[in-house]
Chains A and B, each alone.
Chain A
């Protein structure tokens, strides 16, 4: 059977799923955590604790006060040391709650039993409320507050929930392990999301390089009404929201619009699990699975990490020193992830993986003139002209950038990946896109 995929563009970076066989391990209790207040898209949470306060696992320490915001919960029990600026993946220091860990006491009301709870008693509104209370955000990397996604504006409705289990980024295997180890809970989570969206159909998209997950999830999904599994061709960026919707439903989200405008809602498979835990076990989002990997590491792994734990704890657990030839540390995958300043950064809701790169791979090649080969155009999944956007953005001609579609760029990096002249296309396109957004914001204000 011809596997579904998106028809336009895309590249195939080496998959490097070297940690796919590593079962998820839980890390030792840390001595201290630094939990950022801005772990999601939208306004950062406002701290509701202060120095000296005692907290337990699941205590709300930050409140999302604006419409697009999310709550933040303590992932440990202990005492708040201070609220201070701590470096995160953005490269800048951002406010975080720093907690000294004592014991592992959880908030009352959180169900820690491992039994599967298949009965979904809450109705759609109650589900959305519980998701909001638990501080669940998109765990695929964008960290959009999940409850907001399910608060449909007047007149809009959906017919399908799409679960993004594609994990198209090279190296990352956390979603893969999640499906292999916690398939039942994921599927209940999907049912909950279906109920919240008021739909009776859900499709789980999985890339073909995870045949064991496809087989397992397909088999288990038979026990859940309305849920089907769709294998997808291994093509980057298969997991990009718009491309996934096109591949699975053959619908194109129009420029500037949302998936809901074509009748669907998309969530990462890890988010589905977090939703299960939030709604069925009353457990807020306090931990997530993170892949720790790199070609120059003797061992790699997938870890269940409490939020706020320093990334270096994963290396410690593996008994590893950071290899001397490590030249770059990436939070996320190598195609869209952020290069970070070191391993001291704490794990946040958006940390899907940490990839180490050695010297040779870490540096960019020498930049040459554009040879007008057109490969960037042929790989762009959004049908843009990266060469033209680069030229315009370099000259700061932002109105023209807007005309040529800078705002539609999903920043997948296929263009820069392909360019034979090693031109930093995406760097300039982002520059153009950021300024186009700024211009649009200024226009709205007038």
Chain B
């Protein structure tokens, strides 16, 4: 046989054998013993590595979950994109009870559209909310409102939030939002809040964070919360979900039943919802009017 072929086969064979031995020895000697459950839990997690749980990647959360399981209490550990399905599976596997959490979604708490909060100034600079926030209150003059430059959109890994070119405000896609919280961190004005999706997707929120007195707030934006308190009064007595502090109303999502009465009561339209509130039917006038001639 051709000696070149013989030599090639022998030499390559020896190299391969040598490499195999080295790899085998190293794998054995430097083996890291890990709890096999970590790999299992990591498999169960969505694998998006979004960081919404507060841990570095899905594997980070898996390690924390296994450590918590050994203590016997899962605590606050939760995977927002995975939701209840994933958490239940993990809870079952680790042998721990999991608290069911309602589905949540990111909510943008500003109603200052281009129409409602017209621009009085012209911003000329990089399209970064974090930077514009250090320069001035905003083109409309509201120091709490959305700057419209899209840091939240850039932060989202799930394509769930986009700028509406007409209104100038970001809009969240319920279907895609996994409540990872990236947009919440990105917004320099803390406008975005993770709130429960609400029964059948019905949720109500005050779309304003302006704590200035009503008159000042209205100058910048027609849809500002002026702190009049009408919503607090409109909220049914048994519910009492709305609090008023520093000229600003806040609806507690845990208590809110989604009746929509506060939306009708609000004089500026600062309260928004995912549904149209039902206006109460006008009372019939016949019972009041005195019959003529008596």
- A/B: CB atoms within 8 Å of each other: yes
Take A91-B135, A93-B212 as given contacts and tell me if A424 and B126 are in contact as well, using a CB distance cutoff of 8 Å.
yes
Chain A residues with Cβ below 8 Å from B143 are: 92-93
Contact of A428 with B126 in the complex, beta carbons under 8 Å: yes
A431 CB within 8 Å of chain B:
yes
Contact of B136 with A92 in the complex, beta carbons under 8 Å: yes
**Closest chain A CB from B183 CB (angstroms):** 14
Contact of B137 with A364 in the complex, beta carbons under 8 Å: no
Q: Is the interface of B mostly helix, strand, loop or mixed?
A: loop
Chain A residues with Cβ below 8 Å from B120 are: 341
**Closest chain A CB from B284 CB (angstroms):** 49
Chain B contacts with A in 123-145, Cβ cutoff 8 A = 124-126, 128, 130-131, 134-137, 141, 143
23 contacts between A and B (CB under 8 A): A85-B216, A90-B136, A91-B137, A92-B137, A92-B143, A93-B137, A93-B143, A93-B216, A339-B135, A341-B136, A341-B137, A341-B141, A363-B124, A364-B124, A364-B125, A424-B125, A424-B126, A428-B126, A430-B134, A431-B130, A431-B131, A431-B134, A434-B134
A427 CB within 8 Å of chain B:
yes
Chain B residues with Cβ below 8 Å from A362 are: 124
Q: State A428–B141 Cα separation when bound (angstroms).
A: 23
**Closest chain B CB from A391 CB (angstroms):** 13
Chain A residues with Cβ below 8 Å from B137 are: 87, 91-93, 341
Contact of B128 with A431 in the complex, beta carbons under 8 Å: yes
**Closest chain A CB from B45 CB (angstroms):** 25
Chain B contacts with A in 193-223, Cβ cutoff 8 A = 212, 216
Q: Which residues of B contact A (CB under 8 A)?
A: 120-121, 124-126, 128, 130-131, 134-137, 141, 143, 212, 216
Q: State A341–B143 Cα separation when bound (angstroms).
A: 13
Chain A contacts with B in 342-367, Cβ cutoff 8 A = 362-364
**Given contact pairs A341-B141, A431-B134, a sample of 8 additional A-B residue pairs in the complex whose CB atoms are under 8 Å apart:** A85-B216, A339-B135, A341-B120, A341-B136, A427-B125, A428-B126, A430-B131, A434-B134
**Closest chain A CB from B147 CB (angstroms):** 12
Q: State A93–B136 Cα separation when bound (angstroms).
A: 10
Chain B residues with Cβ below 8 Å from A85 are: 212, 216
**Closest chain B CB from A49 CB (angstroms):** 21
Take A93-B212, A364-B124, A364-B125 as given contacts and tell me if A427 and B136 are in contact as well, using a CB distance cutoff of 8 Å.
no
Chain A contacts with B in 407-446, Cβ cutoff 8 A = 424, 427-428, 430-431, 434
Give the interface size class of chain A: 10 to 19
Contact of A428 with B131 in the complex, beta carbons under 8 Å: yes
Nearest 10 CB-CB pairings of A with B = A91-B136, A424-B126, A92-B143, A431-B131, A427-B126, A92-B137, A427-B131, A364-B124, A91-B137, A427-B125
**Closest chain B CB from A151 CB (angstroms):** 30
Q: Return the CB mask of A82-105 against B: 1 if under 8 Å, else 0.
A: 000101001111000000000000
Q: State A87–B220 Cα separation when bound (angstroms).
A: 13
**Closest chain B CB from A394 CB (angstroms):** 8
Chain B residues with Cβ below 8 Å from A87 are: 137
**Closest chain B CB from A120 CB (angstroms):** 42
Closest to B123 in A: A339
Chain A residues with Cβ below 8 Å from B128 are: 427, 431
Chain A residues with Cβ below 8 Å from B130 are: 431
Chain B residues with Cβ below 8 Å from A431 are: 128, 130-131, 134
Most A CB atoms within 10 A — which of B135, B141, B216? B135
Q: State A13–B193 Cα separation when bound (angstroms).
A: 46
**Closest chain B CB from A324 CB (angstroms):** 15
**Closest chain A CB from B143 CB (angstroms):** 5
**Closest chain B CB from A326 CB (angstroms):** 13
Chain B residues with Cβ below 8 Å from A427 are: 125-126, 128, 131
Q: Return the CB mask of A62-99 against B: 1 if under 8 Å, else 0.
A: 00000000000000000000000101001111000000
Closest to A362 in B: B124
**Closest chain B CB from A419 CB (angstroms):** 13
Chain A residues with Cβ below 8 Å from B126 are: 424, 427-428
Q: State A434–B141 Cα separation when bound (angstroms).
A: 23
Chain B residues with Cβ below 8 Å from A93 are: 137, 143, 212, 216
Contact of A341 with B216 in the complex, beta carbons under 8 Å: no
**Closest chain B CB from A88 CB (angstroms):** 11
Chain B residues with Cβ below 8 Å from A92 are: 136-137, 143
Q: State A91–B139 Cα separation when bound (angstroms).
A: 10
Closest to B124 in A: A364
Chain A residues with Cβ below 8 Å from B216 are: 85, 93
Chain B residues with Cβ below 8 Å from A430 are: 131, 134
**Closest chain A CB from B174 CB (angstroms):** 27
Closest to A340 in B: B136
Most B CB atoms within 10 A — which of A91, A93, A430, A434? A91
**Closest chain B CB from A435 CB (angstroms):** 9
Chain A contacts with B in 84-132, Cβ cutoff 8 A = 85, 87, 90-93
Q: State A363–B122 Cα separation when bound (angstroms).
A: 10
Chain A residues with Cβ below 8 Å from B125 are: 364, 424, 427
**Closest chain B CB from A84 CB (angstroms):** 9
Closest to A396 in B: B130
Q: Return the CB mask of A133-151 against B: 1 if under 8 Å, else 0.
A: 0000000000000000000
**Closest chain A CB from B124 CB (angstroms):** 5
**Closest chain B CB from A5 CB (angstroms):** 31
**Closest chain B CB from A113 CB (angstroms):** 43
Chain B residues with Cβ below 8 Å from A434 are: 134
Q: State A364–B123 Cα separation when bound (angstroms).
A: 11
Q: State A372–B121 Cα separation when bound (angstroms).
A: 33
Q: State A364–B126 Cα separation when bound (angstroms).
A: 11
Q: State A434–B135 Cα separation when bound (angstroms).
A: 12
Q: State A362–B131 Cα separation when bound (angstroms).
A: 19
Closest to A327 in B: B122
Contact of B121 with A341 in the complex, beta carbons under 8 Å: yes
Most A CB atoms within 10 A — which of B120, B126, B143, B216? B126
Q: State A78–B141 Cα separation when bound (angstroms).
A: 30
**Closest chain B CB from A343 CB (angstroms):** 13
**Closest chain A CB from B196 CB (angstroms):** 30
Chain B residues with Cβ below 8 Å from A363 are: 124
Q: State A430–B132 Cα separation when bound (angstroms).
A: 11
**Closest chain B CB from A392 CB (angstroms):** 14
